[in-house]
Structure 1
Amino acid sequence: MRGVARVGISGWTYPPWRGVFYPKGLPQRSELGYAAGRLATIEINGSFYSLQHPSSYRSWHDQTPDDFVFAVKGGRFITHMKKLRGAETALANFVASGVLALRGKLGPLLWQLPPTLGFDAERLADFFARLPRSTAEAAWLARHHDARVDGRALTDTVEDRPLRHALEVRHASFVTPEFPALLREHHIGLVVADTAGRWPFLLDVTADFVYVRLHGDVELYASGYSEAALDVWAGRVRAWTDAGRDVYVYFDNDMKVRAPFDAMSLAERLTR
Protein backbone atom coordinates (compact mmCIF):
# COMPACT_ATOMS: atom_id res chain seq x y z
CA MET A 1 0.00 0.00 0.00
CA ARG A 2 1.27 3.47 -0.90
CA GLY A 3 2.15 5.77 1.98
CA VAL A 4 0.67 9.21 2.62
CA ALA A 5 2.79 12.36 2.37
CA ARG A 6 2.06 15.47 4.42
CA VAL A 7 3.97 18.71 3.96
CA GLY A 8 3.91 21.62 6.38
CA ILE A 9 5.85 24.04 8.54
CA SER A 10 7.60 24.10 11.89
CA GLY A 11 5.58 26.52 14.02
CA TRP A 12 3.25 29.21 12.77
CA THR A 13 3.65 32.28 15.00
CA TYR A 14 6.30 34.45 13.33
CA PRO A 15 5.91 38.25 13.21
CA PRO A 16 7.82 38.61 9.88
CA TRP A 17 5.21 36.39 8.21
CA ARG A 18 2.47 38.95 8.86
CA GLY A 19 1.61 40.84 5.73
CA VAL A 20 3.72 38.42 3.66
CA PHE A 21 2.26 34.94 4.16
CA TYR A 22 -0.53 36.00 6.47
CA PRO A 23 -2.80 38.68 4.96
CA LYS A 24 -2.30 42.15 6.35
CA GLY A 25 -4.66 42.72 9.23
CA LEU A 26 -5.32 39.03 9.92
CA PRO A 27 -5.76 38.65 13.70
CA GLN A 28 -3.00 36.63 15.34
CA ARG A 29 -5.60 34.25 16.76
CA SER A 30 -6.58 33.36 13.18
CA GLU A 31 -3.08 32.53 11.94
CA LEU A 32 -3.19 28.81 12.76
CA GLY A 33 -6.50 28.39 10.96
CA TYR A 34 -5.17 30.29 7.95
CA ALA A 35 -2.01 28.15 7.75
CA ALA A 36 -3.91 24.92 8.35
CA GLY A 37 -6.23 25.75 5.48
CA ARG A 38 -3.25 25.72 3.11
CA LEU A 39 -1.08 22.97 4.56
CA ALA A 40 -1.71 19.40 5.70
CA THR A 41 0.41 19.41 8.87
CA ILE A 42 2.24 21.69 11.30
CA GLU A 43 4.94 20.94 13.83
CA ILE A 44 4.21 22.33 17.29
CA ASN A 45 7.53 23.65 18.56
CA GLY A 46 6.43 25.74 21.56
CA SER A 47 6.30 22.42 23.41
CA PHE A 48 10.09 22.24 23.07
CA TYR A 49 10.62 25.39 25.13
CA SER A 50 8.05 24.89 27.90
CA LEU A 51 5.20 22.70 29.05
CA GLN A 52 2.01 23.77 27.33
CA HIS A 53 -1.53 23.48 28.67
CA PRO A 54 -4.35 21.09 27.70
CA SER A 55 -6.49 24.13 26.83
CA SER A 56 -3.92 25.16 24.21
CA TYR A 57 -3.82 21.74 22.60
CA ARG A 58 -7.63 21.61 22.58
CA SER A 59 -7.76 25.02 20.94
CA TRP A 60 -5.24 24.00 18.28
CA HIS A 61 -7.25 20.86 17.61
CA ASP A 62 -10.46 22.83 17.21
CA GLN A 63 -8.93 25.46 14.88
CA THR A 64 -7.81 22.96 12.24
CA PRO A 65 -9.56 20.79 9.62
CA ASP A 66 -10.75 17.29 10.49
CA ASP A 67 -7.99 15.60 8.48
CA PHE A 68 -5.18 17.82 9.82
CA VAL A 69 -2.15 16.36 11.65
CA PHE A 70 0.18 17.92 14.22
CA ALA A 71 3.66 16.74 15.05
CA VAL A 72 4.72 17.67 18.58
CA LYS A 73 8.30 18.49 19.54
CA GLY A 74 9.45 16.96 22.79
CA GLY A 75 10.67 19.21 25.58
CA ARG A 76 14.25 20.42 25.68
CA PHE A 77 14.29 19.69 29.42
CA ILE A 78 14.28 16.03 28.42
CA THR A 79 16.66 16.22 25.46
CA HIS A 80 19.02 19.09 26.28
CA MET A 81 19.06 19.32 30.07
CA LYS A 82 18.44 15.76 31.20
CA LYS A 83 20.12 14.52 28.02
CA LEU A 84 17.64 11.61 27.96
CA ARG A 85 18.82 10.22 31.32
CA GLY A 86 16.60 10.04 34.40
CA ALA A 87 13.79 11.59 32.38
CA GLU A 88 10.89 9.39 33.50
CA THR A 89 9.05 12.14 35.41
CA ALA A 90 9.88 14.74 32.78
CA LEU A 91 8.36 12.46 30.13
CA ALA A 92 5.25 12.04 32.25
CA ASN A 93 4.95 15.81 32.66
CA PHE A 94 5.37 16.37 28.93
CA VAL A 95 2.60 13.93 28.06
CA ALA A 96 0.36 15.19 30.87
CA SER A 97 0.70 18.78 29.63
CA GLY A 98 -2.01 18.15 27.07
CA VAL A 99 -0.57 16.31 24.07
CA LEU A 100 -3.44 13.81 24.13
CA ALA A 101 -5.96 16.64 23.68
CA LEU A 102 -5.02 16.62 19.99
CA ARG A 103 -6.87 13.28 19.78
CA GLY A 104 -6.94 11.94 16.20
CA LYS A 105 -4.83 14.86 14.96
CA LEU A 106 -1.80 13.77 17.00
CA GLY A 107 0.98 12.71 14.65
CA PRO A 108 4.64 11.89 15.38
CA LEU A 109 6.50 13.06 18.47
CA LEU A 110 9.84 14.67 17.59
CA TRP A 111 12.89 14.40 19.83
CA GLN A 112 15.76 16.70 18.81
CA LEU A 113 19.13 16.11 20.43
CA PRO A 114 21.62 18.93 21.10
CA PRO A 115 24.78 19.21 18.97
CA THR A 116 26.89 18.38 22.05
CA LEU A 117 25.30 14.96 22.64
CA GLY A 118 27.10 12.16 20.85
CA PHE A 119 26.04 8.63 19.96
CA ASP A 120 25.59 6.41 23.02
CA ALA A 121 23.69 3.23 22.21
CA GLU A 122 22.91 2.38 25.84
CA ARG A 123 21.57 5.88 26.60
CA LEU A 124 19.38 5.85 23.49
CA ALA A 125 18.05 2.33 24.03
CA ASP A 126 17.06 3.15 27.60
CA PHE A 127 15.22 6.27 26.46
CA PHE A 128 13.48 4.48 23.60
CA ALA A 129 12.26 1.78 26.00
CA ARG A 130 10.52 4.45 28.10
CA LEU A 131 8.62 6.09 25.24
CA PRO A 132 4.88 5.40 25.08
CA ARG A 133 3.95 3.57 21.89
CA SER A 134 0.21 4.20 22.05
CA THR A 135 -2.12 6.85 23.41
CA ALA A 136 -3.22 4.40 26.12
CA GLU A 137 0.41 3.98 27.21
CA ALA A 138 0.83 7.75 27.08
CA ALA A 139 -2.20 8.25 29.33
CA TRP A 140 -0.78 5.73 31.82
CA LEU A 141 2.57 7.54 31.76
CA ALA A 142 0.89 10.93 32.22
CA ARG A 143 -0.61 9.76 35.52
CA HIS A 144 2.92 9.66 36.93
CA HIS A 145 3.43 13.42 36.56
CA ASP A 146 4.71 15.54 39.42
CA ALA A 147 3.61 18.86 40.94
CA ARG A 148 4.71 20.89 37.90
CA VAL A 149 1.45 20.07 36.16
CA ASP A 150 -0.81 19.58 39.18
CA GLY A 151 -4.27 20.97 38.54
CA ARG A 152 -3.87 21.09 34.77
CA ALA A 153 -2.80 17.59 33.75
CA LEU A 154 -4.55 15.56 31.06
CA THR A 155 -4.16 11.89 31.89
CA ASP A 156 -6.69 10.08 29.75
CA THR A 157 -7.43 9.47 26.08
CA VAL A 158 -10.66 8.99 24.17
CA GLU A 159 -9.21 6.17 22.02
CA ASP A 160 -6.16 3.95 21.88
CA ARG A 161 -4.03 4.76 18.84
CA PRO A 162 -0.40 3.95 17.98
CA LEU A 163 2.19 6.66 18.58
CA ARG A 164 5.19 7.34 16.36
CA HIS A 165 8.50 8.80 17.53
CA ALA A 166 11.26 10.43 15.47
CA LEU A 167 14.79 11.39 16.49
CA GLU A 168 16.85 14.27 15.09
CA VAL A 169 20.60 14.21 15.79
CA ARG A 170 23.27 16.87 15.47
CA HIS A 171 26.58 15.22 16.33
CA ALA A 172 29.00 13.63 13.84
CA SER A 173 29.35 10.46 15.95
CA PHE A 174 25.87 9.39 14.80
CA VAL A 175 27.29 8.70 11.34
CA THR A 176 27.75 5.01 12.07
CA PRO A 177 25.80 1.91 10.93
CA GLU A 178 25.05 1.16 14.58
CA PHE A 179 22.75 4.17 14.81
CA PRO A 180 20.13 3.33 12.14
CA ALA A 181 20.29 -0.32 13.24
CA LEU A 182 19.38 0.75 16.79
CA LEU A 183 16.52 2.92 15.50
CA ARG A 184 15.13 0.01 13.47
CA GLU A 185 15.31 -2.27 16.49
CA HIS A 186 13.18 0.18 18.48
CA HIS A 187 10.94 1.32 15.60
CA ILE A 188 12.07 4.94 15.86
CA GLY A 189 12.05 7.13 12.76
CA LEU A 190 15.29 8.84 11.79
CA VAL A 191 14.79 12.52 11.04
CA VAL A 192 16.18 13.43 7.63
CA ALA A 193 17.52 16.88 8.48
CA ASP A 194 18.78 19.30 5.84
CA THR A 195 20.91 21.82 7.75
CA ALA A 196 23.05 23.53 5.09
CA GLY A 197 25.84 21.09 5.89
CA ARG A 198 26.17 22.01 9.56
CA TRP A 199 24.98 18.70 11.03
CA PRO A 200 24.75 15.12 9.71
CA PHE A 201 22.56 14.54 6.67
CA LEU A 202 21.27 10.99 7.02
CA LEU A 203 18.79 9.31 4.69
CA ASP A 204 18.35 5.92 6.37
CA VAL A 205 14.76 4.67 6.58
CA THR A 206 14.32 3.12 10.03
CA ALA A 207 10.55 2.87 10.60
CA ASP A 208 7.25 2.69 8.74
CA PHE A 209 7.37 6.46 8.25
CA VAL A 210 9.90 9.12 7.30
CA TYR A 211 10.21 12.45 9.10
CA VAL A 212 11.94 15.29 7.21
CA ARG A 213 13.00 18.70 8.55
CA LEU A 214 14.20 21.21 5.97
CA HIS A 215 16.11 23.95 7.76
CA GLY A 216 17.67 25.42 4.60
CA ASP A 217 20.10 23.92 2.10
CA VAL A 218 22.38 26.95 1.67
CA GLU A 219 21.86 29.18 4.72
CA LEU A 220 20.56 27.61 7.93
CA TYR A 221 17.00 28.70 8.81
CA ALA A 222 17.06 31.35 6.11
CA SER A 223 17.56 30.23 2.52
CA GLY A 224 14.62 29.28 0.38
CA TYR A 225 14.62 26.10 -1.69
CA SER A 226 15.09 26.51 -5.43
CA GLU A 227 12.77 24.91 -7.97
CA ALA A 228 15.43 22.30 -8.67
CA ALA A 229 15.90 21.53 -4.97
CA LEU A 230 12.16 21.13 -4.47
CA ASP A 231 12.07 18.75 -7.43
CA VAL A 232 14.74 16.62 -5.74
CA TRP A 233 12.80 16.52 -2.49
CA ALA A 234 9.59 15.69 -4.33
CA GLY A 235 11.37 12.72 -5.91
CA ARG A 236 12.58 11.50 -2.53
CA VAL A 237 9.13 11.82 -0.98
CA ARG A 238 7.54 9.91 -3.87
CA ALA A 239 10.09 7.12 -3.53
CA TRP A 240 9.35 6.78 0.19
CA THR A 241 5.58 6.77 -0.27
CA ASP A 242 5.85 4.34 -3.19
CA ALA A 243 7.69 2.02 -0.78
CA GLY A 244 4.73 2.19 1.61
CA ARG A 245 6.08 4.74 4.06
CA ASP A 246 4.09 7.70 5.34
CA VAL A 247 6.13 10.90 5.08
CA TYR A 248 5.99 14.07 7.17
CA VAL A 249 7.92 17.07 5.84
CA TYR A 250 8.39 20.30 7.81
CA PHE A 251 10.06 23.44 6.49
CA ASP A 252 11.95 25.33 9.19
CA ASN A 253 13.58 28.00 7.00
CA ASP A 254 11.41 30.68 8.57
CA MET A 255 13.74 33.69 8.92
CA LYS A 256 13.01 35.11 5.46
CA VAL A 257 9.43 33.87 5.22
CA ARG A 258 10.34 31.03 2.88
CA ALA A 259 8.93 28.11 4.88
CA PRO A 260 5.20 28.34 4.06
CA PHE A 261 5.77 29.08 0.38
CA ASP A 262 8.31 26.28 0.00
CA ALA A 263 5.92 23.92 1.78
CA MET A 264 3.06 24.78 -0.55
CA SER A 265 5.34 24.42 -3.57
CA LEU A 266 6.51 20.97 -2.51
CA ALA A 267 2.96 19.85 -1.69
CA GLU A 268 1.82 21.01 -5.13
CA ARG A 269 4.55 18.97 -6.80
CA LEU A 270 3.38 15.86 -5.01
CA THR A 271 -0.10 16.20 -6.52
CA ARG A 272 1.16 16.14 -10.11
Structure 2
Amino acid sequence: MKTNTLIGCSSFNNRFWKGVFYPENLPSKKWFEFYCQHFDTYEFNGSFYKFPTVRIFQNWYEKAPENFIFSVKAPKEITHIRKFEDCTVLLKDFYEISRLGFREKLGCILFQFPPSYVFSIEKLENIVRNLNYEFENVVEFRHQSWWNQEVWDVFKHYKITFCCVSHPNLPETILKDFPLIYIRLHGVPKMFYSSYDSDKLLHIKNETDSQTSFVYFNNTASEAGILNALQLKELSI
Protein backbone atom coordinates (compact mmCIF):
# COMPACT_ATOMS: atom_id res chain seq x y z
CA MET A 1 0.00 0.00 0.00
CA LYS A 2 1.36 3.43 -0.93
CA THR A 3 2.35 5.85 1.80
CA ASN A 4 1.05 9.30 0.93
CA THR A 5 -2.25 11.16 0.86
CA LEU A 6 -4.77 9.31 -1.28
CA ILE A 7 -7.78 11.34 -2.38
CA GLY A 8 -10.99 9.97 -3.83
CA CYS A 9 -14.77 9.74 -3.63
CA SER A 10 -17.29 7.33 -2.16
CA SER A 11 -19.14 6.95 -5.46
CA PHE A 12 -18.41 7.59 -9.11
CA ASN A 13 -21.55 6.64 -11.04
CA ASN A 14 -23.10 10.06 -10.78
CA ARG A 15 -25.20 11.80 -13.41
CA PHE A 16 -24.62 15.18 -11.74
CA TRP A 17 -20.96 14.94 -12.74
CA LYS A 18 -21.64 14.69 -16.47
CA GLY A 19 -20.40 17.87 -18.08
CA VAL A 20 -18.78 18.87 -14.77
CA PHE A 21 -16.23 16.04 -14.52
CA TYR A 22 -17.17 13.44 -17.11
CA PRO A 23 -17.15 14.66 -20.72
CA GLU A 24 -20.64 15.06 -22.17
CA ASN A 25 -20.00 12.47 -24.87
CA LEU A 26 -18.42 9.85 -22.57
CA PRO A 27 -20.69 6.79 -22.10
CA SER A 28 -21.39 5.87 -18.49
CA LYS A 29 -19.69 2.47 -18.91
CA LYS A 30 -16.40 4.36 -19.24
CA TRP A 31 -16.90 6.61 -16.22
CA PHE A 32 -14.89 4.47 -13.81
CA GLU A 33 -11.99 4.29 -16.25
CA PHE A 34 -12.09 8.08 -16.51
CA TYR A 35 -12.29 8.42 -12.71
CA CYS A 36 -9.15 6.25 -12.40
CA GLN A 37 -7.28 8.59 -14.71
CA HIS A 38 -7.72 11.39 -12.17
CA PHE A 39 -7.70 9.61 -8.80
CA ASP A 40 -5.78 6.67 -7.38
CA THR A 41 -8.26 5.47 -4.77
CA TYR A 42 -11.96 4.73 -4.45
CA GLU A 43 -14.09 3.94 -1.41
CA PHE A 44 -16.24 0.97 -2.39
CA ASN A 45 -19.60 1.37 -0.64
CA GLY A 46 -21.66 -1.16 -2.62
CA SER A 47 -20.54 -3.91 -0.26
CA PHE A 48 -22.42 -2.17 2.55
CA TYR A 49 -25.76 -2.82 0.85
CA LYS A 50 -25.12 -6.30 -0.57
CA PHE A 51 -22.69 -8.89 0.73
CA PRO A 52 -20.00 -9.14 -1.97
CA THR A 53 -18.44 -12.11 -3.71
CA VAL A 54 -14.83 -12.68 -4.70
CA ARG A 55 -15.82 -12.41 -8.35
CA ILE A 56 -17.43 -8.98 -7.84
CA PHE A 57 -14.27 -7.64 -6.22
CA GLN A 58 -12.09 -9.30 -8.84
CA ASN A 59 -14.06 -7.50 -11.55
CA TRP A 60 -13.29 -4.17 -9.89
CA TYR A 61 -9.68 -5.19 -9.40
CA GLU A 62 -9.35 -5.83 -13.12
CA LYS A 63 -11.00 -2.53 -14.04
CA ALA A 64 -8.57 -0.47 -11.98
CA PRO A 65 -5.03 0.40 -13.09
CA GLU A 66 -1.84 -0.71 -11.40
CA ASN A 67 -1.19 1.01 -8.02
CA PHE A 68 -4.88 1.89 -7.61
CA ILE A 69 -6.21 1.36 -4.06
CA PHE A 70 -9.70 0.36 -2.93
CA SER A 71 -11.05 0.90 0.55
CA VAL A 72 -14.03 -1.34 1.24
CA LYS A 73 -17.03 -0.79 3.48
CA ALA A 74 -18.23 -3.73 5.54
CA PRO A 75 -21.80 -5.00 4.97
CA LYS A 76 -24.57 -3.48 7.03
CA GLU A 77 -25.52 -6.97 8.17
CA ILE A 78 -22.34 -6.89 10.25
CA THR A 79 -22.42 -3.29 11.51
CA HIS A 80 -26.08 -2.27 11.51
CA ILE A 81 -28.11 -5.44 11.86
CA ARG A 82 -25.92 -7.70 14.00
CA LYS A 83 -23.73 -4.87 15.32
CA PHE A 84 -20.75 -7.21 15.67
CA GLU A 85 -22.79 -9.75 17.64
CA ASP A 86 -22.73 -13.38 16.46
CA CYS A 87 -21.07 -12.54 13.17
CA THR A 88 -17.73 -14.34 13.39
CA VAL A 89 -18.36 -16.29 10.19
CA LEU A 90 -19.63 -13.23 8.32
CA LEU A 91 -16.56 -11.23 9.30
CA LYS A 92 -14.21 -14.05 8.34
CA ASP A 93 -15.93 -14.37 4.97
CA PHE A 94 -15.88 -10.63 4.30
CA TYR A 95 -12.21 -10.27 5.14
CA GLU A 96 -11.29 -13.24 2.96
CA ILE A 97 -13.43 -12.07 0.03
CA SER A 98 -11.77 -8.65 0.26
CA ARG A 99 -8.29 -10.18 0.37
CA LEU A 100 -8.85 -12.55 -2.53
CA GLY A 101 -10.76 -10.05 -4.65
CA PHE A 102 -8.64 -6.92 -4.32
CA ARG A 103 -5.24 -8.48 -3.48
CA GLU A 104 -2.52 -5.79 -3.46
CA LYS A 105 -5.07 -3.11 -4.38
CA LEU A 106 -6.87 -3.49 -1.03
CA GLY A 107 -6.39 -0.49 1.21
CA CYS A 108 -8.60 -0.20 4.30
CA ILE A 109 -11.59 -2.12 5.62
CA LEU A 110 -14.17 0.40 6.87
CA PHE A 111 -16.68 -0.49 9.57
CA GLN A 112 -19.33 2.22 9.96
CA PHE A 113 -21.72 1.89 12.88
CA PRO A 114 -25.16 3.55 13.05
CA PRO A 115 -26.06 6.59 15.22
CA SER A 116 -27.91 4.26 17.60
CA TYR A 117 -24.64 2.52 18.46
CA VAL A 118 -23.75 4.38 21.66
CA PHE A 119 -20.45 3.88 23.45
CA SER A 120 -20.05 1.25 26.13
CA ILE A 121 -17.05 -0.72 27.37
CA GLU A 122 -18.75 -3.93 26.27
CA LYS A 123 -19.17 -2.68 22.72
CA LEU A 124 -15.60 -1.45 22.59
CA GLU A 125 -14.32 -4.83 23.77
CA ASN A 126 -16.52 -6.58 21.23
CA ILE A 127 -15.07 -4.53 18.39
CA VAL A 128 -11.51 -5.27 19.49
CA ARG A 129 -12.27 -8.97 19.86
CA ASN A 130 -13.80 -9.36 16.41
CA LEU A 131 -11.43 -7.46 14.12
CA ASN A 132 -8.79 -9.24 12.04
CA TYR A 133 -5.52 -7.41 12.59
CA GLU A 134 -3.96 -8.66 9.38
CA PHE A 135 -5.93 -5.84 7.72
CA GLU A 136 -6.00 -2.04 7.95
CA ASN A 137 -9.14 -1.63 10.03
CA VAL A 138 -10.94 1.72 10.15
CA VAL A 139 -13.95 2.26 12.40
CA GLU A 140 -16.44 5.08 11.87
CA PHE A 141 -18.92 6.01 14.56
CA ARG A 142 -22.00 8.15 14.17
CA HIS A 143 -22.59 8.90 17.87
CA GLN A 144 -20.50 11.49 19.69
CA SER A 145 -20.06 9.29 22.78
CA TRP A 146 -17.25 7.44 20.97
CA TRP A 147 -15.11 10.56 20.84
CA ASN A 148 -13.39 9.82 24.14
CA GLN A 149 -9.88 9.07 25.35
CA GLU A 150 -10.66 5.53 26.44
CA VAL A 151 -11.67 4.57 22.91
CA TRP A 152 -8.63 6.29 21.42
CA ASP A 153 -6.22 4.59 23.84
CA VAL A 154 -7.63 1.15 23.03
CA PHE A 155 -7.58 1.83 19.29
CA LYS A 156 -3.97 3.01 19.45
CA HIS A 157 -2.97 -0.10 21.39
CA TYR A 158 -4.54 -2.43 18.83
CA LYS A 159 -3.55 -0.28 15.82
CA ILE A 160 -7.13 0.40 14.77
CA THR A 161 -7.74 3.67 12.92
CA PHE A 162 -10.46 5.92 14.30
CA CYS A 163 -12.28 7.41 11.31
CA CYS A 164 -12.30 11.21 11.21
CA VAL A 165 -15.49 12.69 9.82
CA SER A 166 -17.02 15.89 8.60
CA HIS A 167 -20.64 15.37 9.58
CA PRO A 168 -23.40 17.78 10.68
CA ASN A 169 -23.69 16.25 14.16
CA LEU A 170 -20.18 15.09 15.00
CA PRO A 171 -16.76 16.55 15.94
CA GLU A 172 -14.54 17.35 12.96
CA THR A 173 -11.19 16.88 14.71
CA ILE A 174 -8.53 15.26 12.54
CA LEU A 175 -6.91 12.62 14.76
CA LYS A 176 -3.31 11.64 14.00
CA ASP A 177 -2.40 9.09 16.68
CA PHE A 178 -3.48 6.04 14.71
CA PRO A 179 -1.87 3.85 12.03
CA LEU A 180 -3.12 6.24 9.37
CA ILE A 181 -5.49 9.16 8.88
CA TYR A 182 -8.83 8.25 7.33
CA ILE A 183 -11.26 11.09 6.65
CA ARG A 184 -14.82 10.88 5.32
CA LEU A 185 -16.37 14.18 4.28
CA HIS A 186 -20.14 13.77 4.29
CA GLY A 187 -21.14 17.40 3.70
CA VAL A 188 -21.85 20.16 6.22
CA PRO A 189 -24.35 21.66 6.93
CA LYS A 190 -26.43 19.62 4.43
CA MET A 191 -25.30 16.01 4.55
CA PHE A 192 -24.30 14.56 1.17
CA TYR A 193 -24.92 17.88 -0.60
CA SER A 194 -22.84 20.68 0.92
CA SER A 195 -19.54 21.71 -0.60
CA TYR A 196 -16.34 22.57 1.29
CA ASP A 197 -14.59 25.88 0.85
CA SER A 198 -10.90 26.35 0.06
CA ASP A 199 -10.01 27.10 3.71
CA LYS A 200 -11.40 23.76 4.87
CA LEU A 201 -9.64 21.90 2.07
CA LEU A 202 -6.34 23.63 2.81
CA HIS A 203 -6.70 22.68 6.48
CA ILE A 204 -7.22 19.03 5.49
CA LYS A 205 -4.22 19.18 3.19
CA ASN A 206 -1.98 20.59 5.91
CA GLU A 207 -3.19 18.09 8.52
CA THR A 208 -2.63 15.06 6.29
CA ASP A 209 0.77 15.99 4.86
CA SER A 210 2.86 14.16 7.45
CA GLN A 211 1.48 10.61 7.39
CA THR A 212 -0.34 8.07 5.26
CA SER A 213 -3.85 9.41 4.73
CA PHE A 214 -7.04 8.49 2.93
CA VAL A 215 -9.48 11.32 2.20
CA TYR A 216 -12.85 10.40 0.72
CA PHE A 217 -15.58 12.81 -0.31
CA ASN A 218 -19.05 11.44 0.36
CA ASN A 219 -20.89 14.70 -0.46
CA THR A 220 -21.83 13.13 -3.76
CA ALA A 221 -25.56 13.84 -3.99
CA SER A 222 -24.57 16.81 -6.17
CA GLU A 223 -21.44 17.84 -8.04
CA ALA A 224 -19.83 19.03 -4.76
CA GLY A 225 -17.92 15.83 -4.01
CA ILE A 226 -16.04 15.54 -7.28
CA LEU A 227 -15.25 19.25 -7.42
CA ASN A 228 -13.92 19.18 -3.85
CA ALA A 229 -11.82 16.08 -4.61
CA LEU A 230 -10.30 17.83 -7.63
CA GLN A 231 -9.63 20.96 -5.57
CA LEU A 232 -7.91 19.00 -2.79
CA LYS A 233 -5.87 17.10 -5.36
CA GLU A 234 -4.73 20.39 -6.87
CA LEU A 235 -3.74 21.71 -3.44
CA SER A 236 -1.76 18.55 -2.76
CA ILE A 237 0.40 18.71 -5.88
Question: What TM-score results when the alignment is normalised by the length of structure 2?
Answer: 0.92
Match of 1:45 in 2: 45
1:269 match: secondary structure: helix
Pair 1:21 & 2:21 matched: yes
Give the unaligned 5+ runs of structure 1: 135-162
Match of 2:69 in 1: 69
Question: What TM-score results when the alignment is normalised by the length of structure 1?
Answer: 0.81
Kindly, what percent of the aligned residue pairs are identical?
27
Match of 1:215 in 2: 186
Task: Decide which of 221, 231, 234 is 2:202's aligned counterpart.
Answer: 231
Change (3 A) 1:92 1:108: same
Contact 2:50–2:75 under 8 Å retained in 1: yes
Task: Decide which of 164, 172, 191 is 1:192's aligned counterpart.
Answer: 164
What are the superposed Cα offsets for residues 168-209 of structure 1, whole Å, 9 maximum, x if unpaired?
11112113211111211211101110013x123343334221
2:72 match: secondary structure: strand
Q: Give runs of aligned pairs for residues 98-109 of structure 1, distance below 5 A.
A: 98-109=98-109
| Equivalent position amino acid for 2:197 in 1 | S
Query: CA RMSD, aligned part only?
Result: 1.8
Aligned residues: 236
CA shift for structure 1 position 259: 1.1
CA distance, structure 2, for counterparts of residue 112 and residue 98 of structure 1: 16
Task: Decide which of 190, 214, 220 is 1:254's aligned counterpart.
Answer: 220
CA distance, structure 1, for counterparts of residue 155 and residue 132 of structure 2: 15
Match of 2:139 in 1: 167
CA distance, structure 2, for counterparts of residue 118 and residue 12 of structure 1: 31
CA distance, structure 1, for counterparts of residue 114 and residue 171 of structure 2: 12
Change (3 A) 1:175 1:208: closer
CA distance, structure 2, for counterparts of residue 212 and residue 27 of structure 1: 31
| Equivalent position amino acid for 1:166 in 2 | V
CA shift for structure 1 position 15: 3.0
Change (3 A) 1:201 1:121: farther
Contact 2:44–2:70 under 8 Å retained in 1: yes
CA distance, structure 1, for counterparts of residue 3 and residue 87 of structure 2: 33
